[in-house]
Structure 1
Amino acid sequence: MEQKRKQGMMSLLIFLLPFAAAVICIGIGRYNISPAESLGILLSPLTGREVDPQGWSVIYHVRLPRILLALAVGMGLSVSGASFQSLFSNPLATPDTLGVATGASFGAVLALLFTRNILVVQLAALLMGLTALAGTCLISRLNGKSSILMVVLGGMVVSSLFQALVSLAKYVADPEEDLPAITYWLMGSMSRATYQGLAVGIPLILLGVAVLFLLRWRLNILSLQEDETKALGIDVKKLRLIVMAAATLVTAACVSLCGQVGWVGLLIPHAARMLYGSDNRKIIPVSIGLGSAFMVAIDTASRAATAAEIPVSILTAIIGAPFFIILLRKTGGARL
């Protein structure tokens, strides 16, 4: 009984964590705003209360789009990573296992060679990410069938191919104008967040996450033997296809919005397993809360730690790698 009460309290804290992180972090920056004032400004359209015009402008025009993007990307990459790890029964699987993130990166890089229109870049990244999935599926099919091993190998091939194409695009890019923009985009940043861009990408992330959330109990079945799943009346091939499509949609949408962000899809699901074990019915919701809060904190540190903004992927690696080592040392890999 005591254990259940503790888990219930922890679940409530994890649920509230993204909201608390958003309210606290939205006020941090060169123009500091207290959490209470930040909350008042955020609620001012509903309450009709008069607030500081400068604070309102900073929050609604500059920081709120970034906070919303960080919440969505953290949630999406974490759930996508947890789903891929269950799908492939591999604790090291990440949202780029099928080459989707690299494919989306190539689409964005290709668009950046011709335009700086963020919507065009987003759409090109999304389209090329889905193309990468199609390529992986085609490569993995052998005699009309596809195995998990072939899917993983196909993803490695597609990822390597698109990585080479990214390098080729960087090689031919204008070193003064295009190359810096491409390099900075590939390192990941929330600075490009706009309400218009969020309207394109966030619905796709929410759709994919909703599908994976509804299928979370079925993800446990993927670890069973094929004979056992048939006895349960579950079409594993169809389930795997739906999970791959939803996780791919989420990953491609995240990459199209903010570039490549590593470690989140690997680290957060393991942290969730450390807290709740290997039950995906709990891992998926916990990954949503932890991933959202983690990404908000990382983005806040990237824009507020120094005068020049630090790319998000650098901070996720600097923080993620040591923390992952701590997880490994603490659990001995037993739950990972």
Structure 2
Amino acid sequence: MLLIIVALVALSVGRYPLSATTITRFLLHPLHLAPAVNATDQQVLFALRLPRVIAAAAIGAALAISGTAFQAIFNNPLVSPDLLGVSNGAAAGAALAIILGYHSAGIQLSAFIGGLVAVTAAITIQRLLRTRGSLTLVLAGIIISGFMQAIIGLLKYVADPDQQLPSITYWQLGSLEKVTLANLGLNLPALLIAGVVLYALRWRLNLLSLDSLEATTLGANLRLEQGIVILCATVLTASAVCLSGTIGWIGLVIPHAARLVAGQNNAKSLPLAAIFGAIFLLLLDSLARTVSAGEIPLGILTGFIGTPLFVWLLLKKRVTLA
């Protein structure tokens, strides 16, 4: 219910405010239960607000789900979706597409490929080291993430300072300003499929969070099931970055908030994290559009709000950092 209320508020607020009556008529008109709204209101809602609200809810849920999944399979409460360098890999892919002069669809496709390349490289490093431990994969992800950051720095150095550099910087800060029904349609299927698969596997996450020997004894195929979870979480993160650029903290903070309410059972905390993530990003995006004359990048807001919120959650849960 809270998610629905927040979504309706997000549809109504902005530089062109709309009344609750207008929102109700817009939503009920396709069902022939209300008269149509005027052309201006319909254009604002259908072309601008509705894609943005759907994207905010989907991206917030996707990042929260992937964070919950990563923290479960690595049994580490401080793991986030960019663990394997996915976010930086996607940002590097987007930056390369901007340098090459690609349009919106090309930038999104390049970002998606960059995220997949990053996670593939991290897994390859783990296999070359011939170890299966989660710590090795974490270290490989840190290596790849640092390498992708170096690539982004190089691309920013050679970028045109008047045209390309601002676009790359804006992409890294994160925003939903450029979301349309077209690019939403390109990425939403991947978000839905990966999210549904992780939702179906939410019961297995409890098993995968156990010691490897114990999980294997209980019948888990660790390599296969962990691979599916990592792939789906990577697809969720890369698809989210394709739509909004890099948005931090959601995948780290929201799973803790969900577990604070639902407990350590991933079967309950994962869907709750999706709802919390959607609400959180909808609120932040509404704030970004209304708090000042110019739109504030979401990466800035998540940093300012996510940091104290995470400290509070750590104090509340008494998470052991040792």
Q: Which amino acid aligns with 1:93?
A: V
- The 3-state SS of whatever aligns with 2:152 is helix
Q: Which residue of 2 aligns with 1:23?
A: 8
Q: 2:197 pairs with 206, 211, 218, which one?
A: 211
- 1:330 shift after superposition: 2.4
- 1:114 shift after superposition: 2.1
Q: 1:192 pairs with 178, 195, 199, which one?
A: 178
- Contact persistence 1:24–1:34 (CA under 8 A): no
| Residues 4-83 of structure 1 aligned to structure 2 (within 5 Å) | 16-47=1-32, 49-83=35-69
The Cα offsets for residues 134-189 of structure 1, whole Å up to 9 and x where unpaired, read as 10111011465532121111101110000000000000001111111111111000
- The 3-state SS of whatever aligns with 1:26 is helix
User: Does 1:278 find its partner at 2:264?
Assistant: yes
Q: CA RMSD in A?
A: 1.5
Q: Which residue of 1 aligns with 2:285?
A: 299
Q: 1:37 to 1:259 in 2, by over 3 A?
A: same
Q: Which amino acid aligns with 2:64?
A: S
Q: 2:88 pairs with 99, 102, 117, which one?
A: 102
Q: 2:152 pairs with 161, 166, 172, which one?
A: 166
Q: TM-score, normalised by structure 2?
A: 0.96
Percent of aligned positions that are identical: 40
Q: Provide the C-alpha distance between the structure 1 equivalents of 2:283 and 2:101, rounded to a whole number of angstroms.
A: 31
Q: Which residue of 1 aligns with 2:103?
A: 117
Q: 1:146 to 1:109 in 2, by over 3 A?
A: same
Q: Provide the C-alpha distance between the structure 2 equivalents of 1:93 and 1:270, rounded to a whole number of angstroms.
A: 11
Q: Which amino acid aligns with 2:167?
A: A
| Residues 223-242 of structure 1 aligned to structure 2 (within 5 Å) | 223-242=209-228
Q: Which amino acid aligns with 1:218?
A: R
- Deviating 4+ runs (over 6 angstroms): none
Q: Provide the C-alpha distance between the structure 1 equivalents of 2:52 and 2:190, rounded to a whole number of angstroms.
A: 17
Q: Which residue of 1 aligns with 2:187?
A: 201
The Cα offsets for residues 194-248 of structure 1, whole Å up to 9 and x where unpaired, read as 1110111111111111111000010001222233222221111111100000000
Q: 1:93 pairs with 55, 67, 79, which one?
A: 79
- Contact persistence 2:248–2:299 (CA under 8 A): yes
Q: Provide the C-alpha distance between the structure 2 equivalents of 1:193 and 1:126, rounded to a whole number of angstroms.
A: 16
- Contact persistence 2:63–2:236 (CA under 8 A): yes
Q: Provide the C-alpha distance between the structure 2 equivalents of 1:85 and 1:39, rounded to a whole number of angstroms.
A: 40
Q: Which residue of 2 aligns with 1:252?
A: 238
- The 3-state SS of whatever aligns with 2:82 is coil
Q: Which amino acid aligns with 1:27?
A: S
Q: 1:334 to 1:134 in 2, by over 3 A?
A: closer
User: Does 1:325 find its partner at 2:311?
Assistant: yes
Aligned length: 320
- Contact persistence 1:220–1:280 (CA under 8 A): yes
Q: TM-score, normalised by structure 1?
A: 0.92
- Contact persistence 1:70–1:296 (CA under 8 A): yes
Q: Which amino acid aligns with 2:253?
A: L
- 1:87 shift after superposition: 1.2
